Structure 1
């Protein structure tokens, strides 16, 4: 989506003579736009997949654009220092964010989403190493970072249990089944409340809608119903994930919004993201 790429660049606030890191090369579109804006000698594009960096380099060279391409795992090491970092992958809060923060020059600015959320976080790096900024008023959905050429299957056994097993707790849900992945505010708030949740959704021709939630601690939930009927909910494990989701949905209904967009953000040197807005606060990421 070219419009989304342009929005991310605008959030990055590029300027003449500033060095720019495009984190997540993809097809090379953002790299090309940035190179046209500040000059290709000031732009570096990084991706974990050597096929993507190589193909993008050839593609842009045919257009007369010659930025620097780097193949590296950004959650482990980011070579160089940059005045602006614009990420079109969902970066993990915590230790996986540290190499990116270290590559941001003091006084520099980052624009990124966080893994499993659709929150666009922007901020300026202070001399103490922290990044201070905000959650922007618009949202974006990007894939999470990966460490190899493809994404390994995650929580296969848990999803299998969630699809076919009787839950330890069976109840009737309060709200209709929702496709959590595409309900961006709900998905983002769920990640802040219960970090690490993975989601899935399916809608059949007979209008039976089913949503699944799983968590690495062994918790899972399944909610199924015909269209907007109250769903039958199965839950197991130490956390009742559908109950957590319904509390978030209740807050959204009662207050009309969630306290995410416009929240203040402070990212400490250890990669932990601290959010606050009014009387609400939350943290995302493990200091390790």
Structure 2
């Protein structure tokens, strides 16, 4: 399959010719990292298989959008065509422009050692390897299958970073000049600051919000951070194959059942989860709120 022209076009869209990320984006076969993915339509989550429609595969993989690879505990690689999982997305291949922006916030130097938190499909790890060299990249994820699949797909394109299955909210192995997380956390785990070398830089998002936070570690072990003039949304960290059960089941039932009084309001209803700025404001003022 001729993917190189598609990758070059993607690089033109998400970088500029002088960017150090143009080469990595143009040179990575993203479709190989997402052979199957989930699409949410009128019937819920449905499976897409790249080999069944090469043009659709190329359009999806080299479009600047996120591709959901796991819903709940079910990864697309393990699904059947008639599967329609119910639950929250638990892994994805993040849209390339956002990956590039997160790495740019890290201000990577050529000799920096990077910890990539949230391996996912492995595509972001591949970009980092092409930018820095695979010996300078470590990537971790809580899901053993994601790590194993990413390792195989990275090796297929001759990239061999250090990969590990690990709960990122705990203690981290090693020491790093840069830590970039493509998962949302709240609060920032203490282990991240401990693993960051003095002078190092951290880039992450605050879980439940669209806020990108960066911080530099000081010589005395403290950190100085800021909220960037940029926005991003990532899945929250989890401690296993799926998020723990919660009151979302009650909300799902409420959507289908009539209450004691049913009325029609005069104003449109906002889908709060899709309105990032509004969702961020609410999660800061009333953290943990759920939307029906």
Superposition TM-score tier, normalisation by shorter sequence: 0.5 to 0.7
Report the CA distance between 1:77 and its aligned residue: 2.1
What CA distance in whole angstroms lies between the structure 2 residues aligned with 1:79 and 1:125? 17
Relative CO higher for 1 or 2, CA cutoff 8 Å, sep ≥ 6?
1
Counterpart of 2:192 in structure 1 is 100
Specify which of 100, 112, 129 is matched with residue 35 of structure 1. Answer: 129
Query: What residue in structure 1 maps to residue 225 of structure 2?
Result: 133
**Structure 1 unaligned residues grouped into runs of 5+:** 200-211, 213-288
Whose strand fraction is larger, Structure 1's or Structure 2's? 1
Aligned partners of 1:22, 1:173: CA distance in 2, in Å?
Answer: 46
Structure-2 separation of matches of 1:174 and 1:125:
51
| Separation (CA, whole Å) in 2 of partners of 1:57 and 1:152 | 27
- Are residues 1:153 and 2:245 paired? yes
Alpha-carbon offset, residue 176 of structure 1: 3.6
Q: 2:159 and 2:119 mapped to 1: Cα distance?
A: 14
SS at match of 1:198: coil
Runs of 4+ in 1 over 4 A off after TM superposition: 160-167, 170-175
Please list every run of 5 or more consecutive structure 2 residues that lacks an aligned counterpart in the other structure: 1-94
Deviation at 1:51, TM superposition (A): 0.6
- Which residue pairs with 2:150 in the alignment? 56
CA distance in 2, matches of 1:134, 1:173: 40
Relative distance call for 1:124 and 1:45 in structure 2 (3 A) is: same
Deviation at 1:87, TM superposition (A): 0.5
- Structure 1 residues 138, 171: CA separation in 2 closer, same or farther (over 3 Å shift)? farther
Q: How does 1:206-217 map to 2 (within 5 A)?
A: 212=292
Structure having the higher helix fraction is: 2
CA deviation after TM superposition for structure 1 residue 105, in Å? 1.6
How many Å apart are 1:166 and its aligned residue? 5.8
User: Is the alpha carbon distance of 1:39 and 1:196 closer, same or farther for their aligned partners in structure 2, counting shifts above 3 Å?
Assistant: same
- State how far apart, in whole Å, the 1-side matches of 2:266 and 2:194 are: 45
Aligned length: 197
> What is the CA–CA distance in structure 1 between the aligned matches of 2:250 and 2:196, rounded to whole Å?
38
